[in-house]
């Protein structure tokens, strides 16, 4: 029997997947990202501490298409990698009990390869597998597909930080205007 569970959630008040899918409201309950920077539309499956499969519906309404490239819209590779990072963050945050007090920061990209362009009308299938996971950091391998064809792959690193620490460092870094 596969460890992949059915597309269900533990209960209607929980955003922790018991293995399966998440709709956009459940994704927003886990990730702090919002439009226009939330790059996941649905999670199809979750294997806790191992793998996540998510979808991004790529539409012409995406704000980056206005400048990348007028007349020939192509999803920027960095946005595809960010979508992989967000999928990985959903997977890892579901394993953290006090996730409302944490953020996952994207800390590195290795071996990124962009095989095919992603254009409006494509549905990006994002698959992320955990390579290493500790309470404070993780490493994942991400692959994105359109119509079953590999379009992007990369190894991603991340760090788990306290939200309070990031707020405090932001307040401390503000300076008085120079005279």
- Could you say which of 33, 68, 139, 163 is catalytic? 68
* Residue 33 falls in the annotated catalytic set: no
Sheet hosting strand 149-162, strand order edge to edge: 42-47, 51-57, 123-133, 137-146, 149-162, 102-114
My answer on whether omega of the bond before 68 falls inside 30° of 0, hence cis, is: no
Contact (CB, 8 A) for 20 and 6: yes
Helix/strand/coil percentages in the chain, nearest 5: 25, 35, 40
Q: List all residues 6 or more positions away from 15 whose beta carbon is below 8 Å from its beta carbon.
A: 9, 22, 26, 29, 30, 94
Cβ atoms 150, 135 nearer than 8 A: no
Sign, Cα dihedral of 79, 67, 59, 148: negative
Active site residues: 68
């Amino acid at each position: 029997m596969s460890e992949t569970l059915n597309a269900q959630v533990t209960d209607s008040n929980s955003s922790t997947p018991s293995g399966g899918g998440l709709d956009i409201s459940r994704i927003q309950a886990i990730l702090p990202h919002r439009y226009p920077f939330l790059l996941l539309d649905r999670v199809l499956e979750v294997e806790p501490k191992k793998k996540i499969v998510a979808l991004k519906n790529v539409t012409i309404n995406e704000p980056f298409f206005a400048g990348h490239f007028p007349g020939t819209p192509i999803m920027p590779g960095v946005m595809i990698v960010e979508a992989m990072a967000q999928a990985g963050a959903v997977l890892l945050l579901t394993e953290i009990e006090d996730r409302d007090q944490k953020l996952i920061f994207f800390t590195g990209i290795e071996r990124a390869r962009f095989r095919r362009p992603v254009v409006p009308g494509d549905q990006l299938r994002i698959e992320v597998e955990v390579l290493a996971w500790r309470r404070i950091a993780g490493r994942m391998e991400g692959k994105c597909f359109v119509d079953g064809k590999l379009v992007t792959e990369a190894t991603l690193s991340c760090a788990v930080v306290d939200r309070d620490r990031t707020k405090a460092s932001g307040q401390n870094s503000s300076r008085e205007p120079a005279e």
